[in-house]
Amino acid sequence: MAFAALAARRLLSAQLPSSLSVPSPASSFLLSAVNRLAPRASALALVLAKPFSTETTTTEKPPAQQPYPCVVIGSGPAGHTASIYLARANLQPVMFEGWMAGGVAPGGQLTTTTELENWPGGEKGLTGPKLMEVCREQSLRCGAEIRTETISKIDLSVRPFKLWPEGKEDEQPIRAQSVVIATGATAKRLRIPGEEQYWQAGISACAVCDGAVPIFRKKPLAVIGGGDSAAEEAIFLTKYASKVYVLVRRDKLRASKTMADRLMRHPKVEILWNTVPVEAKGDGKLLKSLVTEDTVTKKQGSLDVNGLFYAVGHVPNVGFLNSADGKPQLKVDADGYIVTTPGSSLTSVEGVFAAGDVQDRTYRQAVTAAGSGCKAALDCERWLESQEKH
């Protein structure tokens, strides 16, 4: 419900001129004048002072737009924190919040959850969708421009960087001096019957986020997966659950030996080898059991559980970073997470910064994503200033 409501709201907000406006040369001129008075805005003043593109254009296409100082791609806690900081530094960020990019509504993964209990300072009853709505309002209030479009193509080979929104790949690109990538990651799901109905009503992709909620307390729970994440999530859940079943599709764990030993020794954990869930069943409101299948014998069984936690991995949203040859234009690790210089948001391409889950395979929390969005904005601001000196 919340998901649909947010999506509808975004669609409406996309009609608002303020969320779609592109700075005209006149307003940019005014801004540059204002920025000359603001010491922290020197980087923007530099960017605006640069001449318009000398690219040749055909008569069918409008002239290239003046490069933006910074474009933020993605609209979760990382993207909005970066936008708020960049806007407050008068860098006039333009955020592409996406439109169901990676299967997630603008606002990111938190739009798919309900109560958010671990956001510092969050009032009682704060929900993920509400937090992201407030973040969006704050970004706009601070001066960010938000476009409800997904970036589908990017060229990081030359500066200013070039970006194309989905459906506009043949048009003039958006140009940006710097880019903050905050496109998040999408939890893999099994798409079994009943999953949609009981998503966030017993089924979750985040034990750390949801494990402590009352519906799971002193109840039997199940975790799917055989890697380190599954082992960690299962051990975490033993704090609340009466029992934790770990469903492993093969006859061994992929987890490291230490994690596997801890898991197998835990008195509350039972590992069900060669087992996958094939259907989620409930009472119409909450999950109550799973239909399971033996991957070898194909025999089906039933498992009474009040919670099902997916720990089968995440897919970082980086497809748009691929060049024509299908290779990413900046360094990513074996699972597609953007590699950043430790302790910073710097990527392998100068002027491109990454924040949030798209570069974090370890923590993947709203507050860590927001913290890294702050780092990306500060790194970006400093980098733009350093360009001015050259």
CB proximity list for 254: less than 8 A, separation 6 or greater: 226, 227, 228
Q: Is the dihedral of CA 64, 161, 358, 316 positive or negative?
A: positive
Among 142, 155, 206, 294, which one carries the catalytic annotation?
Answer: 206
Distances in Å between the alpha carbon of 319 and those of 98, 332, 336? 13, 11, 9
380 an active-site residue? no
Among 209, 360, 379, 380, which one carries the catalytic annotation?
Answer: 209
Pick the closer one to ligand FAD by CB: 201 or 206. Answer: 206
Q: Restricting to residues 58-77, which ones interact with ligand FAD according to CB under 6 A?
A: 73-77
Instruction: Single out the residue of 49, 38, 163, 182 nearest to residue 107, CA to CA.
Output: 182
Q: Is 87 in the site for ligand FAD (CB under 6 A)?
A: no
Cα gap 72→168, rounded to integer Å: 18
Phi, psi angle pair for 187, to nearest 5°? -65, 135
CB proximity list for 149: less than 8 A, separation 6 or greater: 96, 97, 98, 99, 165, 166, 168
Written as six digits, the tokens of 321 are 């970073």
Phi, psi angle pair for 340, to nearest 5°? -115, 155
Q: Is 163 in the site for ligand FAD (CB under 6 A)?
A: no
Total interface residues for ligand FAD by CB under 6 A: 42
209 an active-site residue? yes
Q: Is 112 in the site for ligand FAD (CB under 6 A)?
A: yes
Phi, psi angle pair for 384, to nearest 5°? -60, -40
Give strand ranges (E) for 151-238. Answer: 151-155, 161-165, 174-181, 185-187, 203-204, 220-224
Which residue of 244, 332, 369, 376 would you call a contact of ligand FAD, by CB under 6 A? 369
Which residue of 35, 90, 139, 150 would you call a contact of ligand FAD, by CB under 6 A? 150
Q: Restricting to residues 349-368, which ones interact with ligand FAD according to CB under 6 A?
A: 356-358, 364-367
Q: Is 129 in the site for ligand FAD (CB under 6 A)?
A: no
Which residue of 113, 275, 340, 345 would you call a contact of ligand FAD, by CB under 6 A? 113
Among 135, 155, 170, 210, which one carries the catalytic annotation?
Answer: 210
Q: Is 277 in the site for ligand FAD (CB under 6 A)?
A: no
Phi, psi angle pair for 382, to nearest 5°? -65, -40
User: Taking contact as CB under 6 A, which single stretch among the options 35-43, 177-185, 220-228, 282-290 is the one that binds ligand FAD?
Assistant: 177-185
Which residue of 94, 116, 376, 377 would you call a contact of ligand FAD, by CB under 6 A? 116
206 an active-site residue? yes
Pick the closer one to ligand FAD by CB: 74 or 227. Answer: 74
Q: Is 376 in the site for ligand FAD (CB under 6 A)?
A: no
- Amino acid identity of residue 88, one-letter, is R
Contact residues: ligand FAD, CB under 6 A: 73-79, 96-98, 101-102, 104, 106-110, 112-113, 116, 118, 150-151, 182-184, 187, 204-206, 209, 317, 320, 356-358, 364-367, 369
Which residues are the active-site residues? 206, 209-210
